[in-house]
Amino acid sequence: MMRAIALVSVLLAAMAAPAAADAAAAGAAAVGAAAAADTGCGERELRVPGAVRSVAVCLPDLTTAGTVPGGHTDPADWAGLEAPGTVNPSGVPGIQIDGHFPDSSKTNPTHGWNQDSQFVIRLPQRWNGGLVVSGPPGVREQYANDRIIGDHVLARGYAFAATDKGNTGPAIYTDGRRPGDAIQEWHLRMAQLTQAAKRVASQKYGREPRYTYVAGLSAGGYLVRGQLERFPWLYSGGVDWNALFFASKGPSLLTTLPPALRAFPRYAAGKAGAHEEMLAAGYPAGSEPLWGYHHKNLWDFLQRIVREELDPSYDGAREAGTPFCAEGTGAGCDTDYEYGSRPREVQEAVRRVSLTGRIHRPLISVQGTLDVLTPISKYGDVYAQMVKKAGRGGLHRYYRVPGGTHTDGLSGAFPTLVRPMQADFLTAFDRLVDWTQRGVRPE
Read off the pLDDT band of 103 (50, 70, 90).
very high
Reported as a single tens digit per residue, the pLDDT across 375-395 is 999 999 999 999 999 999 999
CA-CA distance, 349 to 418, in Å (whole number)? 35
CA-CA distance, 322 to 248, in Å (whole number)? 25
* pLDDT value for 36: 38
CA-CA distance, 307 to 318, in Å (whole number)? 12
The vertex-138 CA angle with 436 and 300, nearest 5°, equals 140
Taking alpha carbons only, the member of 222, 214, 56, 67 closest to residue 147 is 67
CA-CA distance, 309 to 352, in Å (whole number)? 12
* pLDDT value for 28: 35
* pLDDT value for 40: 64
Helix/strand/coil (H, E, C) string of 260-328?
HHHHHHHHHCCCCCHHHHHHHCCCCCCCHHHHHHHHHHHHHHHHHHHHHHHCHHHHCCCCCCCCCCCCC
Reported as a single tens digit per residue, the pLDDT across 166-187 is 999 999 999 999 999 999 999 9
pLDDT at 53 over 50: yes
> What Cα–Cα distance (Å) separates residue 405 from each residue in 51, 242, 248, 270?
37, 8, 25, 24
pLDDT at 38 over 70: no
Taking alpha carbons only, the member of 67, 17, 50, 39 closest to residue 194 is 50
Could you tell me if 179 and 346 are in contact, meaning their C-beta atoms sit under 8 angstroms apart?
Answer: yes
pLDDT at 201 over 60: yes
* pLDDT value for 13: 39
pLDDT at 278 over 80: yes
Taking alpha carbons only, the member of 263, 199, 188 closest to residue 230 is 188
Backbone angles phi, psi at 115, to 5 degrees: -145, 135
Mean per-residue pLDDT for 265-285? 98
pLDDT at 138 over 70: yes
3-state DSSP: the chain helix, strand, coil percent, rounded to 5? 45, 10, 45
CB neighbour burial string for 299-308, b if at least 16 within 10 angstroms, e if fewer: bbbbbbbbbb
Could you tell me if 144 and 120 are in contact, meaning their C-beta atoms sit under 8 angstroms apart?
Answer: no
Residues in the chain: 443
Mean per-residue pLDDT for 420-428? 98
Q: Is 421 helix (H, G, I), strand (E, B) or coil?
A: coil
Percent of the chain with pLDDT over 90: 88
Element (H, E) at 195: helix 181-205
Burial bucket for residue 85 (CB in 10 Å: 0-12, 13-18, 19+): exposed
* pLDDT value for 41: 83
Reported as a single tens digit per residue, the pLDDT across 62-89 is 999 999 999 999 999 999 999 999 999 9
**Confidence (pTM):** 0.92
Q: Is 443 helix (H, G, I), strand (E, B) or coil?
A: coil
CA atoms within 13 A on the CB side of 207: 8
How far from the centroid of its chain's Cα atoms is residue 398's Cα? 19
Q: What Rg do the C-alpha atoms of the chain give, in angstroms?
A: 21
Reported as a single tens digit per residue, the pLDDT across 214-234 is 999 999 999 999 999 999 999
